[in-house]
Chain A
Amino acid sequence: MSFSTTSSPAIEVNDVRKRFGATWALRGVDLAVQPGTILGLLGPNGAGKTTIVRILSTLLVPDAGSARVAGLDVVRQADEVRARIGLAGQYAAVDELLSGRRNLEMVGRLYHLARAESQRRASELLDQFSLTDAGDRLARTYSGGMRRRLDLAASLVARPQILFLDEPTTGLDPRARQEMWQAIRALVQGGTTLLLTTQYLDEADQLADEIAVIDRGTVVANDTPRALKASIGGEQLDLVLPDDANLPYAAALLERITDRVPAVDGEARSISVAFDGGPRTLTAIVRALDDAAIAAEDIAVRKPSLDDVFMRLTGAPTSETMQSTSHDLVGREAA
């Protein structure tokens, strides 16, 4: 195709808007994904991630703006777009009453592969995703992780240039998540362009070349994970108190010294704040706490995480999952 040369973006979104009833799910989204790279679309539940994926995969028509996938307009050239993309959804769209193999063969036949070619491709994919042993069992007997892998395999039957993964690891246990990540990394090595939505910061950090942070229907930041973390500047100070009685006072102290608004987590009795990283500021903080007779259970200085970026950009960690994940991330970095 002459119009999908490597120099133009594989995915291009210009001022896309979408309304459901009275609510705007997307209020003007712009994105560009270069061929062979992974864009992580990061945001809390209800931010509009799935809506973007549905528009780009031709399942939904935008109310305004335009989007091109592989150089093709997703509304006017929807059929041509469909021939070039793969989609794996949040709710694994596999037929539970068919075997894994039959699922893949059916998709192959619908892509108009010859019967023998569909069968060959199905075996190949079952192998690639470690499902060969389970291949002839009904998909309803599969574990959550196996189902997701089968769904991913189904999206790859026709070797799409561009792949959309909508929350590929939501609800998976840590081990299944790791396996999914490995499978995704292997894909991109083969040159596939990937747009991945996630509400897990560490997932975006691990997989994506670029991250677009989306909140309430707009992209609030779009950069590499490294640059996003750098944009928050300096270092991050985590303070944990033995009880929550002094939390507000300590937070006020930190705000006065660093001139930044700290993030307070009452449950963990912790305060997080960005600061310049200099020993002078650190000393000032420790002294101020000491003067106020606030005993700290723990003080740690670390590089900012994406969670900090996210809080800075959107004001709050908007979902439970995000919060717990961010703690995992912090814990791992501290260890």
Chain B
Amino acid sequence: MSQAIALPTPAATAANPLRSLRWALADALVVAGRHLTHLRSVPEKLAGMIVQPVIFVLLFGYVFGSAVTVPGVNYREFLMPGIFALTMAGTLVAAATGMAEDRQKGIIDRLRSLPIARSAAILGATLANLAEAIVGLVLLVICGLAVGWRTHTDPLRVAAGFGLLMLFQFAMNWAGIYLGMLARSADSADQIGMTIFMPLAFVGNTFVPMQGLPGWLQTVTNWNPVSAIVQATRQLFGNTGAMQATAWPMQHAAWVSLGWSLVILAIFAPLCVRRYRTMATK
């Protein structure tokens, strides 16, 4: 025990902001690596992540899809952007329970007792969640292509669509982690997360066009952040069909979705970091 290891002290790194930023990123990547290793340890987690959306595609695409017709487009093409967005939004629940579990098990305390950047633990978790979500998204795309989903626009728009999906996921991620830091337990994080997720996912245009809804409900769904990303990706992929959006947020869905994601990030990222800091006063 007497031999010392030369540790780069935080004081030394703090003196150079660029170096400390590099360490913060490096620490976040180590934490992210931990989360990604879990996928290898618990393959059923990855399986669960994939199976549910595939079931949604089959269930909605073929079972309900046989009863729903969207003018000008194959229903399964109309459906896929909804499933993409649903899956991205759903990571809110996983992020919340993951964080609550790490808190319960003392892993957050372990990280907080280490001389690492305050943001590294949270940033690491969000990056890992994003990486997982991208894997899920790729598999969903393959699944979508298999059931006949196609894009009908230029590569730039398609790329923008996936970019918006990932940004939306990243934003929801921070909201989920904040919830996980507030929740009493992993179970309660899961329940609160689902309570937030369900209306977001289903009170909107995810599975059906909104034109059939009563007026007051349309106002709500028009401003639902999930509706915005669904409509945005439908537009960017060319899956909207013949129906024209009339409401302003739906006409400018890509910008509204970008705005939503940035607002959610701007609210929850600082809240997360602050909460992480003030854990020490509770």
A91 touches B105 (CB 8 A): yes
Residues of chain A in range 113-167 having any CB-CB distance to chain B below 8 Å? 113, 117, 121, 138, 154, 156, 158-159
Of B2, B9, B37, which is within 8 A of A98 by CB?
B37
Chain B residues, CB < 8 A from A94: 107
A59 touches B115 (CB 8 A): no
Say whether, besides A91-B105, A192-B1, A154 and B115 are in contact (CB < 8 Å): no
Q: Residue among B11, B116, B280 with the most chain A CB within 10 A?
A: B280
B4 touches A159 (CB 8 A): yes
B105 touches A93 (CB 8 A): yes
Chain B proximity mask over A68-107: 1 for CB below 8 Å, otherwise 0 = 0000000000011011010101011111111000100011
Closest to A190 in B: B1
Q: Which of B27-35, B66-74, B78-86, B228-236 contacts A (4 or more CB under 8 A)?
A: B27-35
Say whether, besides A79-B11, A113-B5, A117-B5, A93 and B106 are in contact (CB < 8 Å): yes
Closest to A79 in B: B10
Say whether, besides A80-B10, A112-B8, A97 and B105 are in contact (CB < 8 Å): no
Interface size (B, Cβ < 8 Å)? 38
Of B3, B10, B42, B106, which is within 8 A of A159 by CB?
B3
Closest to B30 in A: A109
Say whether, besides A89-B106, A98-B34, A59 and B113 are in contact (CB < 8 Å): yes
Q: Residue among A20, A87, A121, A154 with the most chain B CB within 10 A?
A: A87
Interface of chain A, main secondary structure? loop
Chain A proximity mask over B201-220: 1 for CB below 8 Å, otherwise 0 = 00000000000000000000
Of A97, A106, A110, A187, which is within 8 A of B41 by CB?
A97
B5 touches A59 (CB 8 A): no
The reply to whether the CB of A66 lies closer than 8 angstroms to some CB of chain B is no
Chain A proximity mask over B106-123: 1 for CB below 8 Å, otherwise 0 = 110111111110001000
Closest to B34 in A: A106
The reply to whether the CB of A58 lies closer than 8 angstroms to some CB of chain B is yes
The reply to whether the CB of B47 lies closer than 8 angstroms to some CB of chain A is no
Say whether, besides A83-B115, A110-B114, A110-B116, A96 and B105 are in contact (CB < 8 Å): yes
The reply to whether the CB of A252 lies closer than 8 angstroms to some CB of chain B is no
Chain A residues, CB < 8 A from B109: 59, 87, 89, 93
Chain B residues, CB < 8 A from A268: none
A159 touches B113 (CB 8 A): no
Closest to A55 in B: B280
Of B4, B33, B105, B114, which is within 8 A of A111 by CB?
B114
A110 touches B14 (CB 8 A): no
Closest to A138 in B: B41
Chain A proximity mask over B8-19: 1 for CB below 8 Å, otherwise 0 = 111100100000
Chain A residues, CB < 8 A from B112: 58-59
The reply to whether the CB of B156 lies closer than 8 angstroms to some CB of chain A is no
B22 to chain A, nearest CB (A): 11
The reply to whether the CB of A191 lies closer than 8 angstroms to some CB of chain B is yes
Query: How extensive is the interface on chain A, given as a class?
Result: 35 or more
Chain B residues, CB < 8 A from A91: 105-106
The reply to whether the CB of B223 lies closer than 8 angstroms to some CB of chain A is no
A92 touches B106 (CB 8 A): yes
Say whether, besides A98-B34, A191-B1, A110 and B281 are in contact (CB < 8 Å): no
The reply to whether the CB of B242 lies closer than 8 angstroms to some CB of chain A is no
B27 touches A110 (CB 8 A): yes
C-alpha spacing A113/B114, complex, angstroms = 13
Chain A residues, CB < 8 A from B7: 83, 111-112, 158
Closest to B38 in A: A97
Chain B residues, CB < 8 A from A102: 34, 37
C-alpha spacing A80/B115, complex, angstroms = 7
Residues of chain A in range 32-86 having any CB-CB distance to chain B below 8 Å? 57-61, 79-80, 82-83, 85
The reply to whether the CB of B23 lies closer than 8 angstroms to some CB of chain A is yes
Residues of chain A in range 189-214 having any CB-CB distance to chain B below 8 Å? 190-192
B37 touches A107 (CB 8 A): no
Of B106, B114, B120, which is within 8 A of A107 by CB?
B114
Q: Residue among A154, A159, A190 with the most chain B CB within 10 A?
A: A159
B281 to chain A, nearest CB (A): 5
C-alpha spacing A331/B30, complex, angstroms = 50
C-alpha spacing A89/B113, complex, angstroms = 11
A190 to chain B, nearest CB (A): 3
Chain A residues, CB < 8 A from B27: 110
B65 to chain A, nearest CB (A): 38
Say whether, besides A87-B110, A92-B106, A158-B7, A82 and B34 are in contact (CB < 8 Å): no
Say whether, besides A93-B110, A102-B37, A190 and B2 are in contact (CB < 8 Å): yes
B112 to chain A, nearest CB (A): 6
Q: Residue among A89, A94, A97, A121 with the most chain B CB within 10 A?
A: A97
Chain B residues, CB < 8 A from A109: 30
Q: Residue among A57, A79, A89, A159 with the most chain B CB within 10 A?
A: A79
Please name the 6 residue pairs, one residue from A and one from B, whose CB atoms are nearest each other, closest first: A190-B1, A93-B106, A79-B10, A93-B110, A82-B115, A83-B115
Q: What would 10 A/B residue contacts be, using CB atoms closer than 8 Å?
A: A59-B109, A60-B280, A60-B282, A82-B113, A82-B115, A97-B41, A111-B7, A117-B5, A138-B41, A158-B5
Q: Other CB < 8 Å A-B pairs besides A87-B110, A98-B34, A110-B116, 16 of them?
A: A60-B280, A60-B282, A79-B14, A80-B9, A82-B10, A89-B110, A95-B107, A98-B37, A102-B34, A106-B30, A106-B33, A106-B34, A110-B30, A121-B5, A154-B110, A191-B2
